[in-house]
Structure 1
Amino acid sequence: MASVDLVCAGDTWRAIHSQCARRHDIVPLPGRDVGGEGRDLGPVGLTGPQLALMLAKLFRGARIYSVAHPHERAVYQRVYDAAAAVLDQVDLKEAEGKPIPPIIIDARLGSE
């Protein structure tokens, strides 16, 4: 997988970024201010290695033994589940270059 867009509120991306980004990571994540503003949705472009790093760290952060607060663990689990649902639909036998649908995290009222 070359790239995928994570579409989420800026506040959500900053929560993800604070859990996942570390100074000495081999694969740096996009900046903290890349997503939308506040509750506005915006895309965050991730490469395959960045997505893998993010999902590994969100998985650990969502566990009950994590030092994260319950509301933080809920965000991490929600993003992890949404990404897994999109990735489960990707057919690895398809020709290369087919775009992967965006991972959308939208908890606003009236959203699905």
Structure 2
Amino acid sequence: MIRKASIMFLYKDHYEEYKRRHDELWPEMAKALKDHGAHNYSIFLDKETGRLFAYLEVEDEAMYEQIAATEICKKWWSYMEPLMETNEDSSPVSIDLEEVFHLV
């Protein structure tokens, strides 16, 4: 299993809406994540800064990266775009983090 972590940026006036939308994650989006090898996916919010810390485990990075080409992922990105910093393709601005410690 490959552990991945990243930071994204939520607009401060959309904290509750962001949580609500994830509490009501579309079943087809959840299925797409699982079909692309995602497990143990968590997102944490720093309310002081609006930074989101995302952590997930994937079976295979290449397989997971293919989710970006799916219609459901593109639809989800468009749905979330008003709430957070995004790229031109509506994907979240995201900074990948390098793992420097892991306790088993």
**TM-score band, normalised by the shorter chain?**
0.3 to 0.5
Instruction: Please give the TM-score of this superposition, normalised by the length of structure 1.
Output: 0.36
More strand per residue: 1 or 2? 2
Instruction: Please give the TM-score of this superposition, normalised by the length of structure 2.
Output: 0.38
Q: Which has the higher contact order (CA 8 A, sep 6+)?
A: 2
